[in-house]
Structures are given as structure tokens and as C-alpha cells.
């Protein structure tokens, strides 16, 4: 059940219980909706702190209290810099993330987004490990009309990234976007490989993709990536299939990193700039 529908069960009630009972219910609903424990606890405590007497009956303004707490959590992840307006050229964007979280699709979506906004883009097909990965991004490239720099499968992903950057420098291309593998064959270590690509490509922005459906796993994955490789921003994919809707709060709360975009479908135009108000008005209509 969606967070919105679960909250409905407590929204609109008046004077039936005290603040601490309501806060407990709020907490349970958040957990059931895939908000992680830390974030749910934070929101419950904030809720309680807004009312001086926990034994008091529920005041009329508790809905606005919940709404403002949830808005604040999401607002903390609003990006402060505008990707469309960067100084450096080429501006290098490295995508990392577990397999299936939508890296390749998002690389293509972002290339389209930038190119629709009049920017020049080249993509590095640096997932040289998964069979089909290079073709997958090439097909996207043809559709969008942007150049994909690739080598054969099995070649060094860092070398592909390097080529793409050289290509961009030589042709005055504004953005380089690097797709990477989400899983390694031959026992090669994903994290070591990503560190190497990062060293070689010196990205201006490292973006982690996570899958909203993975919820608490997504939070855990992001923590691991943050510790092992580091990232600057997050894109949360599969928002369209996330029935529960709580993961976005944990992701916004837990890392102190901006959320740039939300993936809202499989099509190349299904990339929406992150907008807390839109999410909140979906929950509190
Ligand atoms: N519904 C939905 N599907 C998505 C979204 N983003 C990606 N997908 C789908 O998720 C699947 C995996 O996406 P990929 O882009 O291949 O994921 P990846 O991270 O590159 O995976 P690996 O290359 O295996 O590491 C594909 O079928 C995509 O179409 C989204 O926002 N919504
Ligand atoms: Mg991929």
C-alpha cells in the first residue's frame, strides 16, 4: 500500500488520541512504506518536538506538522548547482551503481536531456563487461543522435572513458557521460574498477543510481558506494513502479547528497528533475 493511502488512515482524525500515540502510528506507517528506521525515527521525533505536551489530544495542525517535516527532509536533497550551467569543459559525469539500477538507461536519458537543452554530449561505453551493454548504449545513442565512444567487449573501461574525454576535448564537446558496469566477471572487483575509472577520468560529478523499489537495500548500497568509491549526487530510478513510496525519504535524509533527477519510466523522456513539492503534494493531496 502507498504511503499516501496509509497516511489517510490517520489523517483527518480529530481528538481521538494523544500526540505520542499518533506519533507511534506515524512511525509505523513510515516503516511500512519503506522509509528506513533512522529516517522514520527522525521524523517521529521531529513530530513529537513540534507539540509541547505529548499527553495532549491531537491538535488540528498535526497534518501540517507531518507535511512540513516530510517536506524538510526532501528539501535537504535539492541540488544547489545547476547542471545546465557549468563552467568546466568538458564537464565529466561518471555513473556508478549496482546492476539493474538503471545506469545505462539514465546515461541515455541524461544525454537526451542535455542535448534537448542545446548541449553537446558524448558518451563513454565503459561497461565493457556485460554482454550487450555496448550495443544497448549504442542503440540509445543512435536514437538521440549523439556519439558513443566504445571499444570491444572486455577492454579496459578506463581506456574507453579516457578516449571519450580526449574526443570531447578535441571537438569542444561540453559534456562527457561515462556508463559503467554494475557487476564484474572474472572475479574482478567492481569497487576497484570504479576507483580506477574515477582516477583516470577525474569526473566533475559522480552520480549514483539507485532503484526506489529496492528501498532499504538501496540505502545500504548507497552507503557502501559512498564509503568505497564516493559520489556527489543521486538519481533515484523506477519511481513509477515504487508502490510504497517511502524510499525517497531515506535516500534524501541519509547521505546529505543531492538528488538530481527521478527516473519515472523506461522511455528516454522519463527523467524528471527532483521536485520535493511534487512528491509531497502526491502524498498530501
Ligand atoms: N519502470 C522503470 N524502469 C526503469 C527505469 N530506469 C531503468 N529502468 C529499467 O531497468 C532495467 C535496467 O536498466 P539498465 O539501465 O540496463 O540498468 P544498469 O544499471 O545499466 O544495469 P547493468 O548494466 O546490468 O549494470 C531496464 O529494463 C530499464 O528499462 C525507471 O525509471 N522506471
Ligand atoms: Mg548498464
What's the pLDDT tens digit per position in 224-241?
999 999 999 999 999 999
Does residue 82 belong to any structural domain of this protein?
no
Give mean pLDDT, residues 194-217: 95
Counting residues of the chain whose pLDDT is more than 90, the rounded percentage is 78
Instruction: List the grid coordinates of 75.
Output: 528539501
Which of 49, 75, 101 is the last residue before a domain boundary?
75
**CA 125 – ligand 1 centroid, Å:** 15
User: Which one of 124, 218, 266 would you pick to mutate in the ligand 1 pocket, going by the greatest count of ligand atoms within 8 A of its CB?
Assistant: 266
User: Which one of 95, 100, 134, 222 would you pick to mutate in the ligand 1 pocket, going by the greatest count of ligand atoms within 8 A of its CB?
Assistant: 100
Confidence tier at 63 by pLDDT (50, 70, 90): confident
| Ligand 1 near 221 CB (within 6 A) | no
Whether 30 shows a pLDDT value over 70: the answer reads yes
Q: What is the pLDDT of residue 17?
A: 76
User: Which one of 94, 101, 105, 138 would you pick to mutate in the ligand 1 pocket, going by the greatest count of ligand atoms within 8 A of its CB?
Assistant: 105
Least confident residue range of 65-74, 136-145, 240-249: 240-249
Let me know whether 101 and 163 are in one domain: yes
Domain at 14, CATH number? 1.20.120
Whether 209 shows a pLDDT value over 80: the answer reads yes
CA 227 – CA 50 distance, rounded (Å): 34
Q: What is the pLDDT of residue 29?
A: 95
Which residues neighbour ligand 2 (ion) by CB within 5 Å?
Answer: 103-104, 127
Let me know whether 42 and 102 are in one domain: no
Tally of domains in the chain: 2
Let me know whether 70 and 138 are in one domain: no
Q: Which residues contact 168 (CB under 8 A, 6 or more apart)?
A: 90, 122, 174, 175, 176
Let me know whether 154 and 274 are in one domain: yes
Please answer whether residues 134 and 125 qualify as being in contact, where contact means their C-beta atoms are separated by less than 8 angstroms: yes
Higher confidence at residue 58 or residue 129?
A: 129
Q: What is the pLDDT of residue 61?
A: 83
| Ligand 1 near 264 CB (within 6 A) | yes
Whether 52 shows a pLDDT value over 90: the answer reads no
Range of the domain at 115: 91-283
Let me know whether 70 and 100 are in one domain: no
Instruction: List the grid coordinates of 172.
Output: 569542444
- pLDDT tens, 128-172? 998 899 999 999 999 999 999 999 999 999 999 999 999 999 999
Whether 16 shows a pLDDT value over 70: the answer reads no
Which of 25, 41, 75 is the last residue before a domain boundary?
75
Does residue 265 belong to any structural domain of this protein?
yes
| Ligand 1 near 272 CB (within 6 A) | no
**CA 106 – ligand 2 centroid, Å:** 9
Confidence tier at 11 by pLDDT (50, 70, 90): confident
92 HSE (CA, 13 A, CB side): 20
Q: What residue spans of the chain are helical by DSSP H? A: 3-8, 19-32, 37-49, 62-75, 103-116, 133-144, 157-171, 190-201, 216-228, 247-254, 276-283
Amino acid at each position: 500500500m502507498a504511503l499516501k493511502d496509509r497516511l489517510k488512515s490517520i489523517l483527518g482524525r480529530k481528538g481521538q488520541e494523544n500526540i505520542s500515540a499518533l506519533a507511534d502510528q506515524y512511525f509505523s506507517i513510515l516503516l511500512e512504506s519503506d522509509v528506513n528506521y533512522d529516517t522514520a525515527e527522525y521524523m517521529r521525533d521531529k513530530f513529537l518536538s513540534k507539540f509541547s505536551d505529548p499527553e495532549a489530544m491531537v491538535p488540528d495542525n498535526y497534518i501540517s506538522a507531518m507535511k512540513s517535516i516530510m517536506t524538510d527532509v526532501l528539501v535537504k536533497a535539492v541540488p544547489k548547482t545547476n547542471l545546465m550551467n557549468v563552467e568546466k569543459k568538458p564537464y565529466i559525469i561518471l555513473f556508478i551503481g549496482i546492476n539493474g539500477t538503471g545506469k545505462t538507461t539514465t546515461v541515455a536519458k541524461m544525454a537526451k536531456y542535455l542535448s534537448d537543452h542545446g548541449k553537446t554530449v558524448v558518451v563513454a561505453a565503459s561497461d565493457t563487461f556485460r554482454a550487450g551493454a555496448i550495443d544497448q548504449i549504442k542503440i540509445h545513442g543512435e536514437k538521440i543522435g549523439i556519439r558513443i565512444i566504445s571499444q570491444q567487449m572486455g577492454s579496459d573501461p578506463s581506456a574507453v572513458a579516457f578516449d571519450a574525454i580526449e574526443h570531447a576535448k578535441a571537438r569542444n564537446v561540453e559534456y562527457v557521460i561515462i556508463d559503467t558496469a554494475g557487476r564484474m566477471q572474472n572475479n574482478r572487483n567492481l569497487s576497484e574498477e570504479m576507483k580506477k575509472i574515477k582516477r583516470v577520468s577525474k569526473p566533475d560529478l559522480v552520480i549514483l543510481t539507485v532503484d526506489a523499489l529496492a528501498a532499504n537495500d538501496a540505502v545500504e548500497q548507497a552507503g557502501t558506494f559512498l564509503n568505497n568509491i564516493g559520489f556527489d549526487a543521486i538519481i533515484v530510478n523506477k519511481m513509477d513502479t515504487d508502490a510504497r513510496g517511502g524510499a525517497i525519504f531515506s535516500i534524501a535524509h541519509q547521505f546529505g547528497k543531492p538528488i538530481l533527477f527521478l527516473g519515472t519510466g523506461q522511455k528516454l523522456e522519463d527523467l524528471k528533475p527532483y521536485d520535493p513539492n511534487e512528491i509531497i503534494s502526491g502524498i498530501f493531496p
